[in-house]
Amino acid sequence: MTIDRRKFIKTAGLASLAGLVGKNVLGQDVSDVIEPGSFDRLSGLQSPLQARRWAMAVDIGKCEKQHDCTKCIDACHLVHNVPKFDNPKDEIKWIWKEPFEHAFHEQENEFQKTDLIHSTPLLFCNHCDIPPCVSVCPTRATWKREDGIVMMDWHRCIGCRYCMAGCPYGSRSFNWRDPRPFIEDQQKDFPTRMRGVVEKCTFCDERLAVGLLPACVEACDVGALVFGDLEDPESNVRKLLNNNFSIRRKPGLGTQPEVYYIIS
Amino acid sequence: MYDAGKIIIGLVVFLALVSYPIWYDAARGDIPTSADPKIVTAEKECVAPTDYMKDSHMDLLNQWRDDVVRKGVRVYTAESGRKFEMSLSHTCMDCHSNKSEFCDECHNYAGVNPYCWDCHIEPEEVQQ
């Protein structure tokens, strides 16, 4: 009961080293072995937001008009205690921006709507229908919930980073260093992470549970982020997708992202 | 019996050496004989009977953790029918906000050091 993750990994590492060297003592082959302040959380819990298939639509045009706006990123990174590192190698990101040709690799044409080519779309965890990160996780620390959210159980993550190798979108970050000293404005409502675990966006499962929309959606005051249930024909996302042309990242991989980009 | 005197002296010396750490601490007067966790809340009852909490609060916490994170269930109904949000930082620490005099008091005594606080944020305590 007193064993923590680091000790477990150290012991497991030593044990497998012993396994490599040969036989263990028994002679067996071991190689196969939320809102701060007044918000009443309890009553919020009585009216959670639920869906059969959560999805996000990003209106690239609307977003792009707000030149260099980072309200959604700031809100997300604040409520989730995401640290800010100067060294890009240590970077932790739940929402970020990238040039169009990186984000939509192989979907860019040499000549295309210029504002699109020069845009820097917002990127999230795609909460794929067929998430490669989930298939490779050896501890089931990440899995797909029935409502489509690709969840993280930070208690189970052993920091092997298979999921990062599996994710074709770069949506996962690894804590190389203790994040605590690099959190500017620590929020007590959400636990931080620790050195040696992977983290990413969870579509704000902790806010949905108390009836709040994801922090980024709430922070965007031009309505460029629309979140809702794709299985509900009356939902805003569904209507938006029915009436507009949209693309998704790296469709050829067959992961079926649940983050859609509206091209207007 | 041969050399009874030597054997007895030897035994006494042996016992004295073996029990030295106990003597030493007793002489310095800092043997913790029991832990004395302080309850600061005005509430009368914990989320489960006190005896169960003493023995098994870590199991309850693991249960809460799995219910919340893995099953998406966040409300816990106590035997009294009272509802609580299953949360370490909110629920437990709202009533037991004196972590150092409560949780740590026992844990130091028992020599356990839960790693929860590497991530979960400790309540701010007023320094006396």
Q: pLDDT tens digit string along B14-51?
A: 998 998 877 777 777 666 667 888 888 889 999 999 99
pTM of the model: 0.85
Domain assignment of residue B14, yes or no: yes
**Closest of A148, A106, A142, A151 to residue A128, by C-alpha:** A148
Domain assignment of residue B65, yes or no: yes
Average pLDDT (A76-93) is 96
Q: Structure tokens of A113?
A: 């709507």
Asked if A139 reaches chain B (Cβ–Cβ under 8 Å), the answer is no
* Gyration radius (Cα) of chain A, Å: 21
- Give A138-173 pLDDT, tens digit per residue: 999 999 999 999 999 999 999 999 999 999 999 999
Q: Structure tokens of A233?
A: 């024909």
* Contacting A residues, span 21-50, partner chain B, CB-CB under 8 Å: 41-42, 45
Pairwise CA distance, residues A103 & B26, whole Å: 68
Domain co-membership, B57 together with B87: yes
pLDDT on residue A22: 44
Domain that holds residue A170: 5-262
When comparing pLDDT for A1 and B44, which is higher? B44
Domain co-membership, B24 together with B57: no
Sequence-separated (6 or more) residues with CB below 8 Å from residue B27: none
Sequence-separated (6 or more) residues with CB below 8 Å from residue A176: A89, A90, A195
Examine the pLDDT at A36 and tell me if it is beyond 60.
Answer: no
> How buried is A262 (Cβ within 10 angstroms: 0-12 exposed, 13-18 middle, 19+ buried)?
buried
**Structural domain count of chain A:** 1
Pairwise CA distance, residues B80 & B109, whole Å: 31
Contacts of B76 in chain A (CB under 8 A): none
Pairwise CA distance, residues B52 & A122, whole Å: 49
Which of A105-109, A144-148, B52-56, B92-96 has the weakest average pLDDT?
A105-109
CB contact under 8 A, A145 and B120: no
Domain assignment of residue B42, yes or no: no
Domain assignment of residue B22, yes or no: yes
Q: Hey, which residues does A247 pair with through a beta bridge?
A: A261
Which CATH number goes with the domain that contains A51?
3.30.70.20
**Structural domain count of chain B:** 2
pLDDT band of A238, cuts 50, 70, 90: very high
Type of residue numbered B114:
P
CB contact under 8 A, A194 and B118: yes
Domain co-membership, B77 together with B110: yes
Asked if A69 reaches chain B (Cβ–Cβ under 8 Å), the answer is no
SS3 assignment, position A229: strand
Asked if B119 reaches chain A (Cβ–Cβ under 8 Å), the answer is yes
Q: Which residue of B has its CA nearest to A7?
A: B115
Examine the pLDDT at A113 and tell me if it is beyond 60.
Answer: yes
Domain co-membership, B55 together with B87: yes
Examine the pLDDT at A38 and tell me if it is beyond 80.
Answer: no
Question: For residue A256, what are the CA distances in angstroms to A126, A131, B54, B107?
Answer: 8, 8, 48, 48
Examine the pLDDT at A5 and tell me if it is beyond 80.
Answer: no
* Gyration radius (Cα) of chain B, Å: 22
Asked if A177 reaches chain B (Cβ–Cβ under 8 Å), the answer is no
Given the DSSP bridges, would you call strands A259-263 and A54-59 parallel, antiparallel or unpaired?
parallel
Nearest-10 Cα torsion for B45, B50, B55, B57: -10
Positive or negative, the CA dihedral B95, B97, B103, B105 is negative
Strands, DSSP E only, in chain B? 75-77, 83-85
- Give B75-118 pLDDT, tens digit per residue: 999 999 999 999 999 899 999 999 999 999 999 999 999 999 99
pLDDT on residue A46: 87
Average pLDDT (A245-252) is 95
Domain co-membership, B23 together with B56: no
Distance from CA of A96 to the nearest CA of B (A): 23
pLDDT on residue A25: 38
**Closest of A242, A243, A233, A241 to residue A260, by C-alpha:** A241
In percent, the amount of chain A with pLDDT more than 70 equals 89
pLDDT on residue A19: 55
Q: How many CA atoms lie within 13 A of A38 on its CB side?
A: 0
Domain assignment of residue B18, yes or no: yes
SS3 assignment, position A55: strand
pLDDT on residue B32: 63
Domain that holds residue B18: 1-29
pLDDT on residue A12: 73
Pairwise CA distance, residues A153 & A142, whole Å: 6
pLDDT band of A27, cuts 50, 70, 90: very low
When comparing pLDDT for B2 and A236, which is higher? A236
Distance from CA of B98 to the nearest CA of A (A): 16
Distance from CA of A133 to the nearest CA of B (A): 17
- Give A185-217 pLDDT, tens digit per residue: 999 899 999 999 999 999 999 999 999 999 999
For residues B23-55, one letter each, b for 16 or more C-beta atoms within 10 angstroms of the residue's C-beta and e for the rest, the string is: eeeeeeeeeeeeeeeeeeeeeeebbeeeeeeee
Domain assignment of residue B41, yes or no: no
When comparing pLDDT for A13 and B124, which is higher? B124
Strands, DSSP E only, in chain A? 54-59, 96-97, 122-123, 142-144, 150-152, 173-174, 198-199, 225-229, 245-247, 259-263
pLDDT on residue A179: 97
Q: Hey, which residues does A88 pair with through a beta bridge?
A: none
Which site among B55, B61, B91, B121 would you substitute to test the A interface, given the most A Cβ atoms closer than 10 Å to its Cβ?
A: B121
Asked if B113 reaches chain A (Cβ–Cβ under 8 Å), the answer is yes
Q: CA triplet A242, A206, A224: central angle to 5 degrees?
A: 35
- In chain A, what's the furthest Cα-to-Cα distance? 68
CB contact under 8 A, B119 and A186: no
